[in-house]
Amino acid sequence: MKVHLRQIPSGGTLHLAGEEDASGLDLADVGAEPAGPLRYVIEVGLSDGGIFATGELRLRVRMRCVVTLELFETEIVVATFSMQRELDGRELVDLTPEVREDIHLALPAHPRSNAVRDSNPFAPSAGPAVSPPEPEGPSPWEALDRLKSKN
């Protein structure tokens, strides 16, 4: 995702919205592959010799479920994308490294398909509520309660 600095209005921000090919995000390195384009809505501006961008990123990815070992698709959403970088004198600034980093950080470390998440086989069974038995004899907190009441 590249931005021409001259397109950014002086003292304002440039609104960018669209789609880009996700092949440059190196998802194979983290066990995923793009299942569609990268969609983005961001605001880009200039401040104090740097460039900043804020907005939202969305990407459908295909991953392998760690429980069923089957491929599934899910949407990765970075709702609060933000970056800032010092300008190095170039007219064209590539935001791809920051976008890649945020997408990689949003990917689940142990991906589970929706079917596994919905059924949640590891959740404890919902049985009747059982209260713990009442302790017999003096309370272990009784000595502390006496100290507290003396003050």
DSSP state of 149: H
- Residue 141, domain member (yes or no): no
- Residue 84, domain member (yes or no): yes
Question: Rounded mean pLDDT of 13-24?
Answer: 91
Pairing of strands 92-94, 2-4: antiparallel
What confidence tier does 36 reach under pLDDT thresholds 50, 70, 90?
A: very high
- Residue 16, domain member (yes or no): yes
Residue 131: the pLDDT is 55
Angle CA(92)–CA(96)–CA(98) in degrees, nearest 5?
Answer: 110
Q: Which amino acid is at 53?
A: A
Angle CA(113)–CA(116)–CA(121) in degrees, nearest 5?
Answer: 160
Quote the CA–CA distance of 8 and 98 in Å, as a whole number: 19
pLDDT, tens digit, for every residue of 96-147? 999 999 999 999 888 888 765 556 555 444 444 555 566 677 777 787 778 8
- Residue 78, domain member (yes or no): yes
Quote the CA–CA distance of 107 and 60 in Å, as a whole number: 11
Evaluate if pTM is beyond 0.75.
Answer: no
Helix (H, G, I), strand (E, B) or coil at 94: strand
Quote the CA–CA distance of 146 and 94 in Å, as a whole number: 68
- Residue 150, domain member (yes or no): no
Residues 6 or more apart in contact with residue 78 via CB below 8 angstroms: 56, 57, 58, 102, 103, 106
Tally of domains in the chain = 1
- Residue 92, domain member (yes or no): yes
- Residue 62, domain member (yes or no): yes
pLDDT at 37 over 90: yes
Domain hosting 75: range is 2-119
- Residue 124, domain member (yes or no): no
Residue 123: the pLDDT is 44
Tell which residue, 88, 23, 99, 92, has the closest CA to residue 56: 99
Q: Are 85 and 98 in contact (CB under 8 A)?
A: yes
